[in-house]
Amino acid sequence: MAKTVTGIDIGSRTGVALKGSIKGNSFVVTNFAVVPTNTSTIADGWASLSEALKGGFKPGLTRTGISGPDLNIRYTRVPRVPDWQLRKLMGFEVAEVGGTSGSEVASDFNVLPELPEIEGEDVVLLAMAKESMLEDHEDGVKDSGGSLDACTPNAIALYNAWLRFGVLMDDTVLVANIGHENIDVIIARGHDLLFARSLGGGSELFDEAIASRLGLSASKAEQVKIRHVDLDPDARYPDAAVEKASTACKGPAGALLGLLSSTVMFCKSQVKLSGLELNRVMICGGGGALKGLDKYLSRGMNVPVERFDAFQVVDLSKLDPDTAGLLEDHRDEAVIALGLATSGSDPAAYSVEIIPKALAKKRDFMGGTLFLIAAAVMAVGYLGWYGATLGQTRDDLNANASRASAKFRKADKANKETVLLVTENERLAGEASELFALVGGGEQIGRAAGVMHASLPKDFWITRLISDESNDDELGVPRTEKRPILKVMGSTRQGTDRVNERFGLLVSALEAGIDGMQMKSSLGSQGSRFEIELTTLAPGDEGVPEAPDEDNADDSGEDAE
């Protein structure tokens, strides 16, 4: 019998609940509800939804979506190892993040589909969420009359919805669900997931821009956005008020365009797919329905952008007319809930299931410990009968007990030694990381200085050379990690001709002379100052860069630091 699951997506503006199950090649929706939440807390959102569901919607087994700043999704390249060893590696990763954040976290992971560009290694998607957020979801499910199946990142739910209900081709597509506060994004190539991420900054940016420009309340600004704003670059506005509101939204639209574009670059950096090219973009969610947004993004990203309608192939025949009409009105906002229900009911779905630790212990007890207790009771009964009827074997049992005790002591000793070795390994790993930063930073300075010594144009000079451990998404160094970043600042002599061309040659020389480098550069508007930031030590790079030739040592700086 098909497993029926309710997918619930709690947002800051709406709470969506969708119940159904897999039937053959289709998904059958058996109930649907959507209520306004208008809150910034998960607990308050659940309170609004729970009250609405008391009218007859029984959630039963429930899969809830998680997103936002309390969710952390990261990617790790590891050798292909057995499952038990992979679980141990991910356990170390989670312990490190939990210790850094100072908060209890729960986690789950899954291996991305095998990538032909990466031989002999797997890319692991690791999702971590704060226990406090998971507990809010668990309490909300209980108050609604359901039982928590698991919490799944919205981006993973979006991937499962795309995999089952999207138009799949052998191309690379970015799918974005634009909510009020967050944007959940996936990048898929054909059937294979390449990247999933939760971004901050959703459609509320449009509301804030309209409210600020037109002097309106937040609720009124949202109404103006829905009814009047048109972001189509070729749109002709019927009056000045509509044009003013639409123009106010161009800034947030540009920020959204930048977020989606940077996601592609971040995917290349994290998963190490430097040759990845995007072919199309699909958008959904309440913010994705904004008029003209698809055309605006298409012009900015130079790829086709369309709306993802996941309900074209979903069976809605079990819904009454009123509920079907409600779903029709909110089909853009219901994609995540559909993906959550699909994730829970389809055994073949890509699975990332995070549950609170208390619930995990309870399930472990019911699934493992309780069975062991029952087995132990049966064993005791059997041994009693055996001892009563075959007393002559008692000496053998005592001997076996002595041997087992000796084995236990040996195993306990080995375990203690292992714990000490793991602790020492963690300490050595920390020292190795510090040494890597010191040596790598020095070699990085040497290589850059060597290239600039040979290629610094006439009338250009270096004023400052700074190496500091920092982070920069543009250089492939995320906020969760710090690596040595070299910052070069310089000036040009007043009146120097062809400054732009000469600066471009310097940048090209650096790119050609330093392999594996991430770099960004800028030239002042007057051409009198320039700045270059670079690193060869972005996360995932192996080893320390090779030392430059001694003949290329930097002696061109006048005030190096």
Q: What is the pLDDT of residues 375-408, one digit of tens each?
A: 666 766 666 666 667 766 777 787 788 788 778 8
Fold of 430-552: Threonyl-tRNA Synthetase; Chain A, domain 2 (3.30.980)
Given a contact cutoff of 8 angstroms between Cβ atoms, the answer to whether 30 and 21 are in contact is yes
Reduce the DSSP state of residue 197 to 3 states and report it: strand
Write 359-364 long-range contacts (CB < 8 A, 24+).
359/138, 359/148, 360/106
Taking the whole predicted model, whether its pTM rises above 0.85 is answered as no
Cα separation, 138 vs 495, in Å, equals: 68
What is residue 52's three-state secondary structure?
A: helix
Residue 343 CA to residue 315 CA, distance in Å, equals 17
Distance (Å, rounded) from C-alpha 90 to C-alpha 109?
8
Whose tokens are 């039937």? That residue is 23
pLDDT digits (tens, 9 = 90+) for 172-210: 999 999 999 899 999 999 999 999 999 988 899 999 999
Tokens representing 394 are: 């008692």
The residue whose two tokens read 């793991």 is: 422
Query: How far is CA 291 from each of CA 235, 249, 253, 259, 273, rounded to the nearest angstrom?
Result: 10, 11, 12, 19, 33
Q: Which helix (H) or strand (E) holds 14?
A: strand 14-23
DSSP for 249-261 reads THHHHHHHHHHHH
234's enclosing H/E stretch is: none
**Would you tell me which CATH number, out of the four given (3.40.50.720, 3.30.2420.10, 3.40.50.1220, 3.30.420.380), belongs to the domain 1-154+313-355?**
3.30.420.380
pLDDT value at position 494? 83
Cα 495 from Cα 479, distance rounded (Å): 40
Asked if the domains at 1-154+313-355 and 167-307 fall in one CATH topology, the answer is: yes
Asked if 138 and 360 touch (Cβ cutoff 8 Å), the reply is no
Residue 544's pLDDT is what? 45
What residues does 178 pair with on adjacent strands?
183
**Would you state the pLDDT for residue 334?**
95
> Which homologous superfamily is 167-307 in?
ATPase, nucleotide binding domain (3.30.420.40)
Residues of the chain with pLDDT under 50: 1, 542-548, 550-561
Indicate the domain borders of the chain: 1-154+313-355, 167-307, 430-552
Query: For 24-68, what is each residue's pLDDT tens digit?
Result: 888 999 999 999 988 778 999 899 898 888 878 999 999 999 998
What count of residues does the chain have? 561
Q: Where are any strands of DSSP class E within 242-326?
A: 280-284, 305-307
pLDDT in the model for residue 388: 67
Residue 452 identity (one-letter amino acid): M
